[in-house]
Amino acid sequence: MKITKRNGNLTAYDDEKIITSILRANAEVAEEALSRNTASYIADDVFELLTENHEIISTQEIRSTVYSILCENGYPLTAEHYMEYKR
């Protein structure tokens, strides 16, 4: 799967970047403990959802999918910080 960056360049999908971003956002939220394994599962879910219909996706699609999955899994505060972190 390829990612269209904001500047228009294409790059390979890297789930480690999503995991790192989730963990950084979660570090700002004392009320929601989230392990690296959980962040990895969330990144896997993001990948599965996005690859169902797309070969090339935008960073915005990734952001909104991560946000939704975090909320669905009981991490709404982390989701909010993730969106702020990724601006």
pLDDT of residue 71: 97
Question: Which residues lie closer than 8 Å to 51 by C-beta, 6 or more apart?
Answer: 1
Q: Is the dihedral of CA 57, 59, 64, 65 positive or negative?
A: positive
Paired with 11 in beta bridges are: 3
Q: For the whole model, what pTM was predicted?
A: 0.88
pLDDT of residue 51: 86
* Domain membership of residue 70 as a residue range: 2-85
**pLDDT tier for residue 86 given thresholds of 50, 70 and 90:** low
> Domain total for the chain?
1
Using CB atoms within 10 Å of the CB of residue 42, give its burial: 0 to 12 exposed, 13 to 18 middle, 19+ buried: buried
pLDDT per residue as tens digits for the range 14-69 = 999 999 999 999 998 989 989 999 999 999 999 999 888 778 888 889 999 999 99
Q: Residue 5: pLDDT above 90?
A: no
Q: Residue 87: pLDDT above 70?
A: no
